[in-house]
Amino acid sequence: MEAVMAIKNYRIYQKRRRRLAENLGKNGVIFVPGAKAVARNADIEYPFRQESGFLYLTGFTEPNALLVLRGGKRPQSILFCSPKDAKQEIWNGKRFGPEGARQEFGFHQTFANTDIEEKIRECSDLLCGCNVIYYPIHRKESLRVIIDSALGRRKEHRKNILFLDGDRLLGEMRLRKDAADVEQMAHAAQISAEAHKEILTVVHPGMTEIELEAEFTYRFRRAGGDPCHAYAPIVATGANACTLHHISTNAHIRSGDLVLVDAGCEYEGYASDITRTFPANGKFTPEQRAIYEIVLAAQKAAMTMACPGERLSSVHNAAALVIGEGLMRLGLLKKMDLFKAVRTNMHRPFFPHGTSHWLGLDVHDAGDYIVDADGKNARVLLQGMVITVEPGIYIQPHTPRVEKRWRGIGVRIEDDVLITEEGNRVLSAEAPKEVAEIEAIMKERNGKRRRGGRLKETK
């Protein structure tokens, strides 16, 4: 998240603030806090990551800032940020300071983040006559103290103010990506997809899960990814793939194992989220291939439902039907009416998670999944939404009544999908997933490794 990049594009953020201001109405105000620097141990901090909603509206990447936005046709945006501090800047680099932030980011007013309440009171028209105030009610209760104090003596006024959840309002806006979001998400997915492709030529039996994870980290960072992955990466060999949130270990990848990698870089704050599963030695066993092809077919069926006008639940149901049918065909699930099997979740022991989540600045991005008044129906997909499509089959090593040859196989295939006017665009398409494609890349790699080995032997 380079500050320079944010400056170049600051009009994007102004445009988003104007859109949000229209939704707030002329008597609405929203408080959007940025992230604070967080201590890890002693005087060491975690790498700083800006709060997603704040980043979306400002592009400002310094800690301890706050945006206050008053709605209406002539919105007012006020930023509070850390003051300039020559001594601190020697250690930690340049700060914009209020004046720099105002000039470079297009806010109406900027102040130091000291005495926030007093400054808000001084901006007399900011809270005057407002009847609704949004802030992250569930995450930042402490902000209410600042807001109440900023309202000051206007107790009567305070009684008539409705306090609502700002995360929800902003989440709805973030759900439908604009052109700038899409460009950055496509780039994040591209970096990750290329790493997943390259890794097929790098992985080999004998490597550890941690070594393979490091190969991803190296590729993400080299290609311009942010300091941290978009989420804790999952590199799982053999039966470890059946633990959904497996943490990489020193376990050695063995010939004959499948390796599941769920890894995505973050790029300028935007997440990518890709899973691929491949054979460590370059060739699927018949059982691995049978399971893999069911998951791949399920993913393709789900993709056909990832279109504007379809419900998110239809994407999942399409995957579940293919998985249910496949498991019955292989004798892993008792034969019965397929629709009844899926309706009653018979597939759940093998496919225990959903197929999709929103993707954006957060890997599990903002936005409600159900908006119907009765709370029953999943949301209808619209152009500009980005979802993952990630079915899987996991046969736990100790599953009763399952032949030994199937046990410990875990497969997930996950792509990042933008809903477009006509259907969808797979942002992570560069990462190979067809059996023939994976085996061909790995066969070529094996050939090179063998030739390399012979050369060494003859030295």
- Residue 360 structure tokens: 């954006």
Return the number of the residue (363 or 413) whose C-beta is nearest ligand GLY.
363
Active site residue 43: yes
Q: Which of 363, 381, 385, 393 binds ligand GLY (CB under 6 A)?
A: 363
Return the number of the residue (70 or 246) whose C-beta is nearest ligand GLY.
246
Q: Which of 70, 95, 187, 357 is catalytic?
A: 357
Q: Which residue has the tokens 């109440």?
A: 148
State the Cα–Cα distance between residues 153 and 163, nearest whole angstrom: 18
Residues in 269-328 that interact with Mn ion by CB under 5 A: 273
Residues binding Mn ion: what is the number (CB under 5 A)? Answer: 4
243 touches ligand GLY by CB under 6 A: no
Active site residue 222: no
Q: Which of 14, 76, 317, 388 binds Mn ion (CB under 5 A)?
A: 388
Active site residue 125: no
Q: Which of 273, 325, 362, 439 binds ligand GLY (CB under 6 A)?
A: 273
**What is the chain's Cα-based Rg?**
25
Return the number of the residue (6 or 261) whose C-beta is nearest ligand GLY.
261
Return the number of the residue (167 or 273) whose C-beta is nearest ligand GLY.
273
Nearest to 229 by CA among 186, 206, 262: 262
Axis crossing angle, helix 97-105 with helix 10-24, rounded to the nearest 10: 90
Binds 316: which of Mn ion, ligand GLY, none (CB < 5-8 Å by kind): none
Sign (positive/negative) of CA torsion 118, 120, 125, 127?
A: negative
Residues in 375-404 that interact with ligand GLY by CB under 6 A: 390
Binds 48: which of Mn ion, ligand GLY, none (CB < 5-8 Å by kind): none
415 touches ligand GLY by CB under 6 A: no
Q: Which of the stretches 58-66, 141-149, 261-269, 393-401 binds Mn ion when contact is defined by CB under 5 A?
A: 261-269
Active site residue 394: yes
365 touches ligand GLY by CB under 6 A: no
Return the number of the residue (107 or 351) whose C-beta is nearest ligand GLY.
351
Active site residue 412: yes
Return the number of the residue (55 or 236) whose C-beta is nearest ligand GLY.
236
Phi, psi of 308 (to 5 degrees): -60, 140
113 touches Mn ion by CB under 5 A: no
Active site residue 95: no
Q: Which of 222, 329, 343, 353 is catalytic?
A: 353
Supply the minimum distance, in Å, between the C-beta of residue 416 and Mn ion.
9
Phi, psi of 252 (to 5 degrees): -85, 135
Return the number of the residue (209 or 273) whose C-beta is nearest ligand GLY.
273
Q: Is 109 helix (H, G, I), strand (E, B) or coil?
A: strand
* 79 neighbors 57 (Cβ within 8 angstroms): no
Spell out the SS3 assignment of 368-398.
CCECCCCCCCECECCCCCEEEECCEEECCCC
Q: What is the dihedral of CA 423, 426, 432, 437, to 10 degrees?
A: 20
Supply the minimum distance, in Å, between the C-beta of residue 364 and ligand GLY.
6
DSSP string, 45-102: EPPP---HHHHHHH----SS-EEEEE-SSS-EEEEEEPPP-HHHHHHH----HHHHHH
Could you give the angle at the alpha carbon of 10 between the alpha carbons of 225 and 48, nearest 5°?
40
- Residue 134 structure tokens: 């949004």
Active site residue 374: no
Residue nearest ligand GLY, CB atom distance: 262
Supply the minimum distance, in Å, between the C-beta of residue 439 and Mn ion.
23
Give 414's contacts (C-beta < 8 A, 6+ positions apart): 262, 273, 274, 275, 276, 388, 389, 390
Q: Which of 11, 254, 329, 364 is catalytic?
A: 364
Axis crossing angle, helix 10-24 with helix 166-175, rounded to the nearest 10: 120
- Residue 311 structure tokens: 């419900």
262 touches Mn ion by CB under 5 A: yes
CA distances from 177 to 52, 231, 382 (A): 14, 20, 10
Binds 209: which of ligand GLY, Mn ion, none (CB < 5-8 Å by kind): none
Q: Which of 10, 48, 163, 231 binds ligand GLY (CB under 6 A)?
A: 231
> Would you give the binding string for Mn ion spanning residues 397-436, x where CB under 5 A is met?
-----------------x----------------------
Active site residue 245: yes
262 touches ligand GLY by CB under 6 A: yes
C-alpha 189, offset from chain centre: 11
Residues in touch with ligand GLY (CB under 6 A): 231, 262, 273, 357, 363, 390, 414
Residues in touch with Mn ion (CB under 5 A): 262, 273, 388, 414
Catalytic machinery residues? 43, 245, 262, 273, 353, 357, 364, 390, 394, 412, 414
